């Protein structure tokens, strides 16, 4: 008789954003006359930029002609895209990353959940708390996290690095030594970042203890301050300890178009085993490439027109962030984030739990946000709003929140 993967049964509840979606759909169904505004899931609302649309149309035409039709993509992704990434995201910032150290994928969510597969089950992981739930959940599914304590919301074999108001939402080096360290800056959900000097400390620490940093830079495009690093490879020594994950979802609106990439420098090794080779093997065996037309769309992100148009798009969302940040401050909320990230992190009023505030906001303001506790135990008592709505909805949501 077949046996299921018991680790799945340890997962409490369903995936955070599925639950948020279900609750808001249920409310809308019960109250069809209400206009619910979602600032919950971090999904973009602006259309793809004209340069990207043009690139997509051109690539579609190529797929309709036998002379230019493309079948299976190269294992690592098309060179035209990897070259554009290597130049724009790395060389132009003074980071040494070769095009063949870049693995094109269908998005950072997949990469951030799949990357743990190339590591043994006996590695100890460390995560910021709160953080994007996929890091922990994918390790739970693999069986790397021990047992769950419902009272604390913590896994016995996970090292939690609290990011709280006390430390400015920047984690401190952990007391226990981890093998894999997930860092996400600008952080989802807090919107907080670290300086280059702070990140250098993490790189030095990882090299010292022999840990790998899995660095999720999905929100890099929203960095507005000078001393915040755009890539972990800006730090010295990162090539021997860091994997970087990038997404096209937030800088170019690809949440429904799907594109991302992972960087694994060739120096990153355990004894003689190269992580680059292991990931290449996984990519070749368990994946089959992002669509050609989508890789061409990704290339257009780096064209002069694409860059100019996307700068405007990022500004649009960051103006939303400012509206939320200032509006909530006026309404007396304790808020942070929203300066180097499209997320606003607020303390729930009157000691409400995160889910109590979710219901309160949904029922009284018809606004959907994301409960901070869904991102980890230290997120309890906090709440995340995103700047990815339309201007109109953002203004309306803030007005409604002010009124309650």
d(CA 195, CA 246): 19
Smallest distance, its own copies to C-beta of residue 112, A: 9
d(CA 292, CA 59): 7
Confirm or reject binding of residue 342 to its own copies (CB under 8 A): no
Pick the binder of its own copies from 255, 340, 354, 370 (CB under 8 A).
255
Pick the binder of its own copies from 23, 27, 36, 73 (CB under 8 A).
73
d(CA 278, CA 115): 10
Residues 361-390 contacting its own copies, CB under 8 A: 390
Smallest distance, its own copies to C-beta of residue 8, A: 5
Confirm or reject binding of residue 308 to its own copies (CB under 8 A): no
d(CA 328, CA 234): 35
212-216 vs 180-184, strand pairing mode: parallel
Residue 276 or 361: the one with the smaller Cβ distance to its own copies is 276
Pick the binder of its own copies from 292, 357, 382, 383 (CB under 8 A).
292
Confirm or reject binding of residue 2 to its own copies (CB under 8 A): yes
Residue 18 or 364: the one with the smaller Cβ distance to its own copies is 18
Smallest distance, its own copies to C-beta of residue 84, A: 19
d(CA 185, CA 183): 7
The DSSP string of 30-94 is: H-TTS--EE--S----SPPPHHHHHHHHHHHHHHTSTTT---SPPTT--HHHHHHHIIIIIGGGT
Pick the binder of its own copies from 97, 161, 290, 324 (CB under 8 A).
290
Say if CB 255 and CB 348 are below 8 A apart: no
d(CA 245, CA 212): 13
Pick the binder of its own copies from 104, 154, 293, 367 (CB under 8 A).
293
Residues 217-246 contacting its own copies, CB under 8 A: none
Residue 273 or 308: the one with the smaller Cβ distance to its own copies is 273
Gyration radius (Cα) of the chain, Å: 21
Residues 163-222 contacting its own copies, CB under 8 A: 179-180, 209-212
Confirm or reject binding of residue 122 to its own copies (CB under 8 A): yes
* Only segment of 152-160, 286-294, 333-341, 347-355 that touches its own copies (CB under 8 A): 286-294
Residues 30-69 contacting its own copies, CB under 8 A: 41, 43-48, 50, 53, 56-57, 60-61, 63-66, 69
Confirm or reject binding of residue 113 to its own copies (CB under 8 A): yes
Confirm or reject binding of residue 392 to its own copies (CB under 8 A): no
Smallest distance, its own copies to C-beta of residue 244, A: 16
Residue 84 or 206: the one with the smaller Cβ distance to its own copies is 206
Beta-carbon neighbour count of residue 334 at 10 Å?
13
Say if CB 200 and CB 236 are below 8 A apart: yes
343-347 vs 335-337, strand pairing mode: antiparallel
- For 388, phi then psi, to 5°, come to -85, 5
SS3 211: coil
42-70 burial string, b = 16+ CB within 10 Å, else e? bebbbebbebbebbbeebeeeeeeeeeee
Pick the binder of its own copies from 183, 192, 264, 275 (CB under 8 A).
275
Confirm or reject binding of residue 29 to its own copies (CB under 8 A): no
Pick the binder of its own copies from 31, 288, 311, 334 (CB under 8 A).
288
Residues 344-363 contacting its own copies, CB under 8 A: none
Smallest distance, its own copies to C-beta of residue 346, A: 23
Say if CB 45 and CB 390 are below 8 A apart: yes
- For 125, phi then psi, to 5°, come to -100, 150
Confirm or reject binding of residue 256 to its own copies (CB under 8 A): yes
- Residues in contact with its own copies, total (CB under 8 A)? 82
Confirm or reject binding of residue 118 to its own copies (CB under 8 A): yes
Smallest distance, its own copies to C-beta of residue 6, A: 6
């Amino acid at each position: 008789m077949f046996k299921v993967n018991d680790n799945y049964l340890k997962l409490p509840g369903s995936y955070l954003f599925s639950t948020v979606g279900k609750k808001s759909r249920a409310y809308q169904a019960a109250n069809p006359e209400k206009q619910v505004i979602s600032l919950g899931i971090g999904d973009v609302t602006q259309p793809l930029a004209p340069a990207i649309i043009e690139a997509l149309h051109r690539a579609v035409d190529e797929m309709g002609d036998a002379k230019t039709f493309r079948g299976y993509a190269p294992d690592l992704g098309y060179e035209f895209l990897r070259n554009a990434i290597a130049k724009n995201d790395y060389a132009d910032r003074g980071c040494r990353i070769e095009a063949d150290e870049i693995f094109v994928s269908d998005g950072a969510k997949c990469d951030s959940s799949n990357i743990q597969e190339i590591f043994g089950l006996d590695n100890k992981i460390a995560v910021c708390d709160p953080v994007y739930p996929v890091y922990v959940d994918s390790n739970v599914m693999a069986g790397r996290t021990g047992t769950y304590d419902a009272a604390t919301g913590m896994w016995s074999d996970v090292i939690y690095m609290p990011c709280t108001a006390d430390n400015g939402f920047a984690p401190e080096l952990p007391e226990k030594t981890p093998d894999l360290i997930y860092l996400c800056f600008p952080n989802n959900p807090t919107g907080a970042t670290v300086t280059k000097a702070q990140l250098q400390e993490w790189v030095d620490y990882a090299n010292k203890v022999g840990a790998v940093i899995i660095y999720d830079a999905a929100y890099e495009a929203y960095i507005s301050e000078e001393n915040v690093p755009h890539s972990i490879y800006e730090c010295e020594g990162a090539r021997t300890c860091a994997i970087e994950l990038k997404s096209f979802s937030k800088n170019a609106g690809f949440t429904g178009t799907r594109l991302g990439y992972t960087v694994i420098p060739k120096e990153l090794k355990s004894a003689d085993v190269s992580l680059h080779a292991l990931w290449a093997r996984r990519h070749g065996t368990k994946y089959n490439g992002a669509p050609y037309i989508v890789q061409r769309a990704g290339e257009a992100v780096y064209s002069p027109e694409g860059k100019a148009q996307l700068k405007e798009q990022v500004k649009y969302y960051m103006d939303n962030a400012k509206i939320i940040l200032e509006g909530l401050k006026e309404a007396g909320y304790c808020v942070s984030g929203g300066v180097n990230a499209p997320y606003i992190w607020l303390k729930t009023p009157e000691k409400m739990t995160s889910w109590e505030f979710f219901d309160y906001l949904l029922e009284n303001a018809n606004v959907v946000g994301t409960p901070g506790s869904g991102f980890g135990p230290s997120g309890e008592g906090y709440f995340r709003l995103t700047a990815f709505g339309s201007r109109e909805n953002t203004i309306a949501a803030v007005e409604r929140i002010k009124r309650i």
